[in-house]
Amino acid sequence: MRGLNTMLKEIWKERQQLVEKQLVKELEKEPPLDARLAESMRYSLMAGGKRLRPILLMAAADAVGAKGTDYLTTACALEMIHTYSLIHDDLPAMDNDDYRRGKLTNHKVFGDGMAVLAGDALLTLAFEVIGRQQHTDPATLLRTVQEISTAAGMNGMVGGQAIDLESEGHRISMEQLRKMHMGKTGALFRAALRSGAILAGASEKQLAALTAYAEGFGLAFQITDDILDVTGDEALIGKPVGSDLRNEKSTYVTLTSLEEAQRLAKETVDAAVAALDGFGPEADFLRQLVRYMLERKN
């Protein structure tokens, strides 16, 4: 969280802790049918991480004048969807990674089959959890479900992952790269910010502004992720650096240069901040957060 001012660091830490506690509660709502599956789910879900997507959802609600923590339940559901995607992304048939967040990946501990099932279970549990959301009406909740399910599906995160899988081993265009990351990485960020705004009763103008911010945030996150794969510290990232190069993946660095990727990241951050011009200090967390992308170490 280096680069965030003290007040915003405190907000992040406080909400990170709220997410951690709520995730445990959601996992323990009912006794598991299979203890090994439950252990596998918990292993990855509670492995740490920034909890960025749930924090973005709550921050978007704050930005439109609501109380972001009222939507902690749906925020946690987003983290479950994100975790499922990481479990599957690490599998031998996908990126074949041995470490995630400094720990052995799920399939290395529980086996490929159980890792697949843990991901499946987290994805489906996420929508069960959204159904428990309070402080909203049924129509708004349905709209939120549609927003998140579309973002997670074939025209969002899964679609982007498919492009990524098909692109390994050969060079793709910048347009294809953007399309891939708009789905694989950007879609869930977009869903987090839009869902927070929708749940909080945002106006169409506010929703459009937060959508523009979300698209900039997602792009900035991916560009800086590509930069970190070249310049990052393995101890901080929690997985080996240089994996994109080894897997022959096209990235913002390999398609341009490190310097050009850094320039594009700054340009994208500036545009995201500008998208929030119509908001007051209640959106300061979002402004600081996207600027932090330029300084993050993991």
Over residues 282-295, the pLDDT tens digits come to: 999 999 999 988 88
Q: Are 64 and 121 in contact (CB under 8 A)?
A: no
Residue 236: pLDDT over 60 = no
**Cα separation, 30 vs 216, whole angstroms:** 39
Residue 287 falls inside a structural domain = yes
Indicate the residue type of 189. Answer: F
pLDDT recorded at residue 229 = 86
Q: Residue 100 phi/psi, 5° resolution?
A: -145, 125
What does the pLDDT average to over 267-292? 95
Buried b (16+ CB within 10 A) or exposed e, 17-37: ebbbebbeebbeeeeeeeeeb
- 37: Cβ contacts below 8 Å, ≥ 6 apart: 114, 117, 118, 121
Residue 298 falls inside a structural domain = no
Which residues on neighbouring strands pair with residue 100, listed in sequence order?
103
What does the pLDDT average to over 276-287? 95
Residue 1 falls inside a structural domain = no
Which CATH number belongs to the domain containing residue 179 in this structure? Answer: 1.10.600.10
Which residues on neighbouring strands pair with residue 104, listed in sequence order?
99
**Cα separation, 268 vs 274, whole angstroms:** 10
The tally of domains found in the chain comes to 1
Q: Name the residue range of residue 248's domain.
A: 6-292
What does the pLDDT average to over 18-37? 95
Residue 88: pLDDT over 90 = yes
Integer-rounded Cα Rg, in Å, for the chain is: 18
Residue 165 falls inside a structural domain = yes
Q: Residue 250 phi/psi, 5° resolution?
A: -80, 130
The mean predicted confidence, pLDDT, of the chain is 91
Q: Residue 104 phi/psi, 5° resolution?
A: -55, 140
Indicate the residue type of 12. Answer: W
pLDDT recorded at residue 250 = 81
DSSP letter string, 151-218: HHSTTTHHHHHHHHHHHTTS---HHHHHHHHIIIIIHHHHHHHHHHHHHTT--HHHHHHHHHHHHHHH
Q: Residue 96 phi/psi, 5° resolution?
A: 55, 55
**pLDDT tens per residue, range 177-199:** 999 999 999 999 999 999 999 99
pLDDT recorded at residue 4 = 59
Residue 102: pLDDT over 90 = no
Residue 254: which pLDDT band, with cuts at 50, 70 and 90?
A: confident
pLDDT recorded at residue 99 = 92
pLDDT recorded at residue 169 = 78
**Cα separation, 239 vs 235, whole angstroms:** 7
**pLDDT tens per residue, range 38-87:** 999 999 999 988 999 999 999 999 999 999 999 999 999 999 999 999 99
